[in-house]
Amino acid sequence: MQRIRLRYTKRGRLRFTSHRDFQRAFERALRRAEVPMAYSAGFTPHPKVSYANAAPTGTGSEAEYLEIALTEARDPERLRVLLDESLPAGLDVLEAVEARTSGLADRLTASVWELRLDGVDPAEAERAVAAFNAAESVEVQRLTKNGMRTFDARPAVASLERVEAHSSPADRPSDQPCAILRLVVRHVTPAVRPDDVLSGLRAVADLAPPVPAAVTRLAQGLFDEETGTVTDPLAPDREAAATEPHPAAATAAATAPA
């Protein structure tokens, strides 16, 4: 059995798709691309697909990850192209590597988010960020299936800063002030999401954007405490592939006559 790890995106309108919507679209893409999927056992077999830490509905992402199991070996790049062609624009498969290590989900310990606040003056956002960073605790509330829950969002935030705005997307007004925030948040329990940080900014500095923030996950991976950066979770597999022979090649070499 071969395992392939994929990085894919949720862009544009596709950021409003739920995780279940993506699952259905991806399973259809697997069939269109004629991927030799491994299936679970039992009365209702399902393709062996492992999803890792999907972004919330309504947020964009450049760094979503999943792993698939195949019954026949396939070239990862060729597989990536076929799946990318079989998915709608906006759900784009950017990378595919053969899994040579274990614990992909364990390497997703933090995310880097971009929060675009249209209608917010950058100086106002700067003051709110400073107030948030200076606070020892920032209590926020979130409505859950068990009712309203209050928790401290501050410890999960590794860094929060205002960055310079880049060119505006076509579907966003360009004649209004705009503040861009860069957020690095650890994956903890309870999970702290970008909207929780926005609630915290409202609580500590009364920052209330006039329109909903456009939120995009830029990266996720292992958080490096020394540098404060988030590392590429597929890097260990690429490094292992560069130093180890392909399993099929190794088997052929072992069984070849002397």
pLDDT for the residue 246: 56
pLDDT for the residue 205: 96
CATH ID of 109-230, from 1.10.3210, 3.30.70, 3.40.50, 1.20.5: 3.30.70
Say which residue the tokens 């274990």 belong to: 102
Per-residue HEC secondary structure of the chain comes to CEEEEEEEEECHHHHHCCHHHHHHHHHHHHHHCCCCECECCCCCCCECEEEECCCCCCCEEEEEEEEEEECCCCCHHHHHHHHHHHCCCCCCEEEEEECCCCCCHHHCCEEEEEEEEECCCHHHHHHHHHHHHHCCCCEEEEEECCEEEEEECCCCEEEEEEECCCCCCCCCCCCCCEEEEEEEEECCCCCCCHHHHHHHHHHHHCCCCCCCCEEEEEEEECEECCCCEECCCCHHHHHHHHHCCCHHHHHHHHHCCC
**More confident site: 83 or 41:** 83
Which regions of the chain carry the CATH code 3.30.70.580?
2-105
Cβ-count burial 230-247 (b if 16+ within 10 Å, e if not): bbbbbebbeeebeeeeee
Average pLDDT over residues 183-188: 96
Residue 168 pLDDT > 60, yes or no?
A: no
pLDDT of 235-248, one tens digit each?
999 999 888 765 54
Average pLDDT, the chain: 90
Q: Is-contact 196 183, C-beta < 8 A?
A: no
Least confident among 3-7, 8-12, 40-44: 40-44
pLDDT for the residue 16: 95
Least confident among 14-23, 165-174, 231-240: 165-174
Q: 202: pLDDT confidence band, cut at 50, 70 and 90? A: very high
Average pLDDT over residues 116-130: 97
Residue 67 pLDDT > 70, yes or no?
A: yes
CATH 3.30.70.580 fits 2-105, yes or no: yes
Quick one: how far is CA 8 from the chain centroid? 8
pLDDT for the residue 243: 84
Its pTM surpasses 0.85: yes
